[in-house]
Amino acid sequence: MCNIKHIIIQPAKDEEFCFFTIGYEGRSLENYLSCLIENNINTLCDVRKNPISRKHGFSKRQLEQAVSNIDIEYMHMPELGIASEKRRNLKTQKDYDRLFKNYRNTTLKNNSCAINKLYQIFLNKKRVCNHLF
């Protein structure tokens, strides 16, 4: 569990509409949560297809509890995630470019309902962040 004493709590920067993305690779849970607080995020949309992590605090239930403790709503939208088998063996920039092109041409094109749902969340909540690896 996250030690709240180590989280930097600062006033929100502003109340304007803003859509963020955040990854957790190379971050501690405390640093991750501090970043959400600093940017006045009120809704975290986890777009991982499989919200499991070997890194402490970043599996679905742990992350959901951690953000709930700081009054951030957690939503899981696996339909916008990339399957783990597609992320294996990514070594070069070309590999990543191919993956993201495929993502745009398949996942995004085939999930207009999920994208619309995410857009509606954004319109209602104003400060939304997509959670990525």
pLDDT band at 35 (very low <50, low <70, confident <90, very high): very high
Checking phi first, is residue 9 left (phi over 0); if not, alpha (psi -120 to 50) or beta? beta
| pLDDT one-digit tens code per residue, 51-87 | 999 999 999 999 999 999 999 999 999 999 999 999 9
Is the model more confident about 13 or about 129?
Answer: 129
pLDDT greater than 70 at residue 42: yes
pLDDT greater than 50 at residue 5: no
Domains of the chain: 4-132 (3.90.190)
pLDDT greater than 60 at residue 15: yes
Is the Cβ–Cβ distance between 102 and 96 less than 8 Å? Answer: no
pLDDT recorded at residue 14: 64
Residues 6+ apart with CB under 8 A from 54: none
